Amino acid sequence: MKKLALILAMAMILATTALAADIPMEQEPDEDVPESVFDPGVIATNTEGLDVPAPSAILMERDTGTVIWEKNADERLRPASVTKVMTILLIVEAVDRGELKLSDTITCSAYAAGMGGSQVYLEEGEQMTLQDMLKCIVVSSANDAACAVAEHMAGSEQAFAARMNERALELGMANTHFTNCTGLMDDPEHLTTARDIAIMSRELIKHEWIKEYTTIWMDTVRDGQFGLSNTNKLVRFYEGATGLKTGYTSSAGHCLAATAMRDGVEYIAVVLHCASSSDRFESAKTLLSYAFGAYTVATPKPDQVLPPIPVKLGKVHNVQPVIDEEPSLLVRKSDAGSLEVTVELVPELTAPVEKGAEVGTMTVTLKGQTLARTPILAADAVERLSWWDVMKDMVHMMMYGTE
């Protein structure tokens, strides 16, 4: 009987341990990714040659938002801690609006201190500046810090999640629904897509100062007493890496929103549900390297300065046309020299002319295909001559002739 009781007790312990191991909490595994994963290797020269192990992925250029390549990019999946891209975005936007300051003191609640998974082990009542909290969230994916800031901003994590969903709708993230600010638990209703993650990642990196945090490899908080290490190994090993956020749970798999910039051009690669950390870094590296190798962002301009346009019955005789906004176009490097720019201007205007009035069009084409049409506007307003001004001009012409 004693032997049977011992066997039963051991079985219960093993069962409990197995159940605990299956608790789907976000905790980056300490997986050793070989540096060879980050070697350039053979870079694909066209999209047909792209082959990544990630089940769901997308590659996007930052300035234009152009999607270069995608694979199951609209499949709704669990994002794990890549969720925090939206959490960080809301924090950054609040700072830029002046609603928060990086020097603000954030106090950790009992609820936030109880967060599991990746954390910096905040204690109830412990205080940190928003700057240090943000560093913990970005670099170490600290769930406790994310929750503490969410509560500070919105009163509760649930209220903050509602703000996350509102911002997602504003950005056009049609297939996203957040139920928390961390991605800690594999909530079946907490879902997004590779495309939606790319959209919110693009919005985040518009705030250049966040890269002071997303590019940190190692740092400390608590006056140097607690070390932080970035789980995004691209930051250390990939040329031009600017961020952005890793994530992992047993159900979500290994996820990554990766950003990198070279020669002023920045790309976003999102990979979800990878089988291993090596797979996610390999997938992101392959996509980013393809983009850098094959594409560039061109800003085409007219070959010559735009000539002034005559204005009839105006207090000045002409107005200078200006291009409204020079287009940024993502093109293959091999096509950059083949872009053609044509300009059409109205031959003449009659006063009054409003500043900003459309006076022409600049068209950019590539091999006969129109890539962009940009309005050309009047740089200044031109007032119409009064009858008295007309009479004076007529007298002047009669007495002195035309010049």
Asked about 101 being catalytic, the answer comes back as no
* Separation of alpha carbons 343 and 328, rounded Å: 17
Asked about 118 being catalytic, the answer comes back as no
Q: Which of 81, 118, 201, 283 is catalytic?
A: 81
Provide the token pair at 155.
């009163």
Provide the token pair at 136.
């913990």
Asked about 84 being catalytic, the answer comes back as yes
Amino acid in position 213: Y
SS3 169: helix
Q: Which of 71, 84, 135, 211 is catalytic?
A: 84
SS3 107: strand
Provide the token pair at 188.
């079946």
* Separation of alpha carbons 203 and 180, rounded Å: 20
Q: Which of 56, 118, 140, 141 is catalytic?
A: 141
Q: What is the dihedral of CA 260, 263, 265, 267, to 10 degrees?
A: -20
What are the distances in angstroms from CA 29 to CA 82, 366, 369? 15, 48, 49
CA 230 to chain centroid, in Å, comes to 19
Q: What is the DSSP letter of 205?
A: T
Provide the token pair at 255.
């996820």
What are the distances in angstroms from CA 90 to CA 32, 106, 120, 279, 312? 32, 16, 21, 30, 52
| Cα angle for residues 29, 31, 37 (degrees, 5° grid) | 135
324: number of Cβ within 10 Å = 13
Q: Is 18 exposed, middle or buried (0-12, 13-18, 19+ CB in 10 A)?
A: exposed
* Separation of alpha carbons 261 and 47, rounded Å: 20
SS3 312: strand
* Separation of alpha carbons 373 and 361, rounded Å: 7
Positions annotated as catalytic residues are 81, 84, 141
